[in-house]
C-alpha cells in the first residue's frame, strides 16, 4: 500500500522528505492536502485507519485543520470494516425471510378469506336476527376484548395514550363507528352484493372531499376514471331485485362517513403503530355505538329479539355466531392494514378491488341471489371503474414520493 505522509512544512534532502518537529505551542496545523474520509468511518493516514474523532477535522474551514491534542475527543474503537468481517460466517437466513413473497401471499389469502367469511356469516345472522345496531356493537366488542387480551400478554406492547392524541382520534373513531353501523344496516336490508356495489362509490366521495374540503387538486384523469363507477352503480341500482331505500341510503351514508374518517385520519397523523392505533379507534367506536343500540333496539331485543333468535337456531349457535362474526370482522380489518404495510400502494389498491369482486361473487353463489342482466353489467362496470381509479391514484402517489425522495 502506498504510504501517505502528512507534511509539516519540511524540506527535501536528496529527494528524501524530512519531517520537521512542530512547535511546542502550535495549537493548529494546516494539512498539506485534505484528508480523504473512508466510507466505513475512518481515515487512511500513513497506511492506518483512524476515526474522524481522532483527527478532529474542522469542515468549517476551506482547508481541514487538525486541532490541538488538548481538544481531541476520546478515541473510540473503529467500526468493523467489510474486509474485517469477510471471515465471519454469514447469519443463517430463515425460510420465510428467504421467500418473503410467500408471507405476502399468505396475508392476501387470509385477508380475502376472512372478509368473505365475515360477509357470509354476517348476512346469515341478519336472516334470523335483524338487529344491525346490536350486531355492530358485538363486532367492535369482540375486537376490543381481543385487543385487551393481546395487550395483557404484550403482543403487541400497548402504546401510551395522552389527552392530545385522544382528541385527535375521537373524530376518526366517531366516523368509523357511523360508517360501520350504517354498513351493517345496509347489509341487513339488502343483498350483500348490492351493498358492496354501492360502496364502490367510496372513491368518488374521497375525490370530492379532497377537492372541495381539503382544497387538493384532483387530476382530470381521476375524475374521468370515476365516471364508469357512477354509471355502473346507477345501472345496478335501477334493476336490483332486493333494492330498498333504507339499504341504499345507509350504504351512501357509510361512504360519506368513511370519507370523513380518511380526512380526520390525515389530520391525526401519529407515530403509533397500526395495530395499537386500530385498537384505540375500536375502543372509542364501541362507546359511540352502544347508546344508539340501546335506544333504538334495546326494547325490542328484550321483548322478543333474543328469544326469537334462540328459538330459531338455539342458544349455543346464536352465541357462537356472534362471537365468530366479531372475531372475523376484527381480524380481516387488521390483516388489511398489515397487508398494506408489506406491499406498495398500487398492489394494495388492486388487491382491494379484487377483494370486492370475491365478496360479491361468493355472496351471490352462497345465498343464491338472483340478479338481472343489467345489474350484473352495472356491477362489472363499477368494479372496473374502481380498478382504473385505484391504479391511476396509486401511480400518482408513487410519482409524488419519487419527487420528494429525489
Strand partners, 50: 43
Of 230, 247, 240, 192, which Cα lies nearest the Cα of 373? Answer: 240
pLDDT tens profile 106-137? 888 888 899 999 999 999 999 999 999 999 99
Cα→Cα distances 227→222, 252, 261, 281, Å: 9, 17, 24, 33
Q: Sign of torsion, CA 248 251 256 257? A: positive
Element (H, E) at 9: none
Cα torsion for 302, 306, 308, 314, to the nearest 10°? Answer: -150
Residue 57 has pLDDT above 80, yes or no: no
- 394: its cell numbers: 396509486
Of 39, 56, 59, 38, which Cα lies nearest the Cα of 47? Answer: 38
Query: What number is the average pLDDT over the span 35-56?
Result: 43
Residue 315 has pLDDT above 80, yes or no: yes
Sequence-separated (6 or more) residues with CB below 8 Å from residue 173: 280, 281, 282, 283, 284, 285, 288
Q: Sign of torsion, CA 223 227 232 233? A: positive
Quote the pTM value: 0.69
Residue 69 has pLDDT above 70, yes or no: no
Phi and psi, residue 49, nearest 5°: -95, 125
pLDDT tens profile 333-372? 888 877 777 776 656 666 777 788 888 888 888 888 778 8
Of 127, 355, 367, 381, which Cα lies nearest the Cα of 238? Answer: 381
Give the pLDDT score at 37: 44
Q: How far apart are CA 373 and CA 376, in angstroms?
A: 5
Query: What number is the average pLDDT over the span 173-180?
Result: 95
Q: How far apart are CA 94 and CA 90, in angstroms?
A: 12
Counting residues of the chain whose pLDDT is more than 70, the rounded percentage is: 74
Residue 83 has pLDDT above 70, yes or no: no
Higher pLDDT, 118 or 25: 118
Q: How many CB atoms lie within 10 A of CB 185?
A: 23
Mean pLDDT score across all residues of the chain: 78
Q: Which of 84-93, 159-168, 170-179, 190-199 has the lowest mean pLDDT?
A: 84-93
Q: How far apart are CA 141 and CA 286, in angstroms?
A: 6
Give the pLDDT score at 72: 45
Contact status, residue 374 vs residue 236, Cβ threshold 8 Å: yes
Q: Which of 29-33, 251-255, 257-261 has the lowest mean pLDDT?
A: 29-33
- 243: its cell numbers: 333494492
- 25: its cell numbers: 505551542
Q: How far apart are CA 38 and CA 35, in angstroms?
A: 9
Maximum Cα interatomic distance, the chain, rounded to a whole number of Å = 113
Q: Which of 158-172, 213-227, 273-287, 317-331 has the lowest mean pLDDT?
A: 213-227
Tell me how far the alpha carbon of residue 296 is from its chain's centroid. Answer: 34
Confidence of residue 272 (pLDDT cuts 50, 70, 90): confident
Any idea how long the chain is? 406
Q: How many CB atoms lie within 10 A of CB 166?
A: 12
Q: Where are the alpha helices (DSSP H) in 191-303?
A: 192-199, 202-212, 220-238, 245-267, 274-300
Query: What number is the average pLDDT over the span 280-308?
Result: 95
Q: How far apart are CA 27 and CA 22, in angstroms?
A: 10
Q: Which of 25-34, 180-189, 232-241 has the lowest mean pLDDT?
A: 25-34
Residue 166 has pLDDT above 60, yes or no: yes
Give the pLDDT score at 330: 93
Contact status, residue 159 vs residue 322, Cβ threshold 8 Å: no
Amino acid at each position: 500500500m502506498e504510504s501517505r505522509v502528512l507534511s509539516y512544512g519540511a524540506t527535501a534532502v536528496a529527494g528524501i522528505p524530512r519531517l520537521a518537529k512542530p512547535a511546542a505551542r502550535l495549537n493548529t496545523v494546516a494539512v498539506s492536502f485534505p484528508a480523504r474520509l473512508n466510507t466505513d468511518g475512518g481515515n487512511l493516514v500513513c497506511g492506518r485507519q483512524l476515526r474522524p474523532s481522532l483527527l478532529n477535522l474542522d469542515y468549517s474551514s476551506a482547508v481541514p485543520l487538525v486541532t490541538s491534542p488538548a481538544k481531541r475527543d476520546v478515541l473510540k474503537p473503529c467500526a468493523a470494516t467489510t474486509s474485517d468481517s469477510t471471515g465471519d460466517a454469514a447469519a443463517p437466513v430463515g425460510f420465510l425471510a428467504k421467500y418473503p413473497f410467500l408471507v405476502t401471499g399468505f396475508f392476501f389469502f387470509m385477508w380475502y378469506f376472512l372478509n368473505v367469511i365475515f360477509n357470509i356469516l354476517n348476512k346469515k345472522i341478519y336472516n334470523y336476527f335483524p338487529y344491525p345496531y346490536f350486531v355492530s356493537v358485538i363486532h367492535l366488542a369482540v375486537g376490543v376484548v381481543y385487543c385487551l387480551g393481546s395487550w395483557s400478554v404484550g403482543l403487541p406492547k400497548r402504546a401510551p395514550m395522552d389527552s392530545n392524541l385522544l382528541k385527535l382520534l375521537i373524530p376518526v373513531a366517531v366516523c368509523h363507528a357511523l360508517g360501520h353501523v350504517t354498513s351493517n344496516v345496509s347489509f341487513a336490508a339488502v343483498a350483500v352484493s348490492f351493498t358492496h356495489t354501492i360502496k364502490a362509490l367510496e372513491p368518488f366521495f374521497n375525490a370530492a372531499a379532497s377537492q372541495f374540503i381539503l382544497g387538493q387538486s384532483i387530476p382530470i384523469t381521476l375524475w374521468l376514471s370515476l365516471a364508469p363507477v357512477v354509471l355502473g352503480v346507477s345501472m345496478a341500482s335501477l334493476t336490483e331485485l332486493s333494492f330498498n331505500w333504507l339499504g341504499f341510503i345507509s350504504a351512501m351514508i357509510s361512504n360519506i362517513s368513511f370519507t370523513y374518517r380518511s380526512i380526520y385520519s390525515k389530520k391525526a397523523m401519529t407515530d403509533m403503530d397500526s395495530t395499537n392505533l386500530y385498537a384505540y379507534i375500536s375502543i372509542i367506536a364501541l362507546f359511540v355505538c352502544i347508546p344508539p343500540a340501546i335506544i333504538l333496539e334495546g326494547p325490542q331485543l328484550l321483548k322478543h329479539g333474543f328469544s326469537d333468535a334462540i328459538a330459531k337456531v338455539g342458544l349455543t349457535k346464536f352465541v357462537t355466531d356472534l362471537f365468530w362474526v366479531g372475531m372475523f370482522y376484527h381480524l380481516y380489518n387488521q390483516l388489511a392494514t398489515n397487508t398494506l404495510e408489506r406491499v406498495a400502494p398500487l398492489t394494495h389498491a388492486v388487491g382491494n378491488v379484487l377483494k370486492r369482486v370475491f365478496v360479491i361473487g361468493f355472496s351471490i353463489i352462497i345465498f343464491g341471489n338472483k340478479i338481472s342482466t343489467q345489474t350484473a353489467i352495472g356491477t362489472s362496470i363499477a368494479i372496473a371503474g374502481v380498478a382504473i381509479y385505484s391504479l391511476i391514484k396509486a401511480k400518482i402517489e408513487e410519482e409524488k414520493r419519487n419527487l420528494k425522495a429525489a
